[in-house]
Amino acid sequence: MRDRDLYAKLLGIEDPWYVRDVDPRLEAGEVEIFISRDERAELPCPVCGAAAGRYDTRTRTWRHLDTMQYKTLLTAEVPRVKCAEHGVKQLKVPWAEPGSRFTAMFEALVIDWLKEASVSAVARMLRMTWDEVDGVMARAVARGLERQQSQPLRNIGIDETSFQKRHEYVTVVYDCDRKHVIDVLDNRRQFDLEEFYFGTPLEHLQSLESVSMDMWGPYVQATLIHVPDAERKIAFDRFHVAKHINDGVNKVRVDEHAELRELGDRTLTGTRYLWLKNPENMTAKSRLRFEALRGSSLRVARAWAMKEAARQLWSYERRGWARRAWKRLIGWMARSRLPPMVKVGRTLRAHLWGIVNAIVLGATNASLEAVNSKIQALKKRACGYRSRARFRSAILFHCGGLELYPSAHLAHTNS
């Protein structure tokens, strides 16, 4: 079999395209494959498919999968056609997406490696520039978003994740049922979330059953404005509520520890995580120490008891029972004479309606918290992102549940 026939079969080149020549430049570490198109074949408009006349021809080159250790290039004379309706357009080629300098198979390889390694690592391994690899990722995400079917939403989660230091954030919107990120918004302002709601069909907003979030005011206000009956759908996530309470317990410990140290009492030294950890997860040694502490007259022991009481209040099924139970806890906090817990109680009282919604609806951001951890791991692996656009692209690439591969590659795989 001649090398031209071999490459034609390997590349899946079919009429009216054919491999005209193969140039192995071994000293340069390259193989260049020249592809032509039968001039007698009809030229269709790439937009409407109607027969069109040849306008001119442009030489195009694409990077393909390596042949052994040799970098492989495809070069073709690609006709441009003149359509009566759409004007001058370049003919599509079956081995690459429009506008790409890489074949569909090569882009699929890059996508596969990007799922396992950072942009910089893939660039080094495949002998590409950082911008070339980033371009493949951006095109993959754009394809995926274009292919994505607009589907009704039932339960969504909204949370912030840090973009850079200095309190810079993006907002992640997550489909809790399909387990993927829907969108990544530029900041955590009310305006940003409103932009998402404006872009969502009204019938999909009407189909929402729960919107899980933390107690961040701008998220609440945007949702109240745009989601029908939002007062019964906004659910303040259990883990964020627990964080508020844990912060209160820790503040009580810090204040009390400072007072005891001034008196030479080291009772609370090294106990921070004992008060925050679930006793069931403690070692036997830690549990023995903790049992003695929580049975003492320490102020932090009283604060911890409130935290434990709150942990038991998430199993109610009836709205009225849940509200009454939380009101009793909030009343306890208010009478505790522990300023941090009094403050937490005020926060819980102001947001009790959304806490009760979370309990009754069974809504939680637990899976979104797991995605948040994955996002932070991606950021660490990439040593940070310089722009929000690239950060958004990376999140959607890895967490968006998108169909990323080029159409030409999918067609070749399914054939």
Nearest to 391 by CA among 401, 381, 406: 381
Omega prior to 16 cis, within 30 of 0: yes
Residue 127: other Cβ atoms inside 10 A: 11
Q: For residue range 143-196, list pLDDT tens digits in order.
A: 999 988 778 899 999 999 988 776 789 999 999 999 999 999 999 999 999 999
The pLDDT of residue 108: 95
Nearest to 174 by CA among 362, 355, 369: 369
Percent of the chain's residues with pLDDT above 70? 98
What's phi and psi for 158, nearest 5 deg?
A: -130, 125
Of 47-51, 111-115, 340-344, 353-357, the one with minimum mean pLDDT is 47-51
Nearest to 293 by CA among 342, 247, 253, 330: 253
Per-chain mean pLDDT for the chain? 91
pTM: 0.86
Q: What whole-number distance in Å separates Cα of residue 371 and Cα of residue 392? A: 14
Q: For residue range 108-133, list pLDDT tens digits in order.
A: 999 999 999 999 999 999 999 999 99
Domains of the chain, by residue range, sit at 1-95, 97-140+387-414, 238-361
What are the angstrom distances between the C-alpha of 3 and each of 7, 19, 25, 33, 79? 6, 9, 14, 10, 25
The pLDDT of residue 149: 78
* Helical residues (DSSP H) of 295-415, grouped into ranges: 299-311, 319-335, 339-350, 352-361, 366-381, 388-399, 407-414
Q: Mean per-residue pLDDT for 247-268?
A: 95
What's phi and psi for 102, nearest 5 deg?
A: -130, 150
Q: What whole-number distance in Å separates Cα of residue 142 and Cα of residue 403? A: 10
3-state SS class at 97: coil
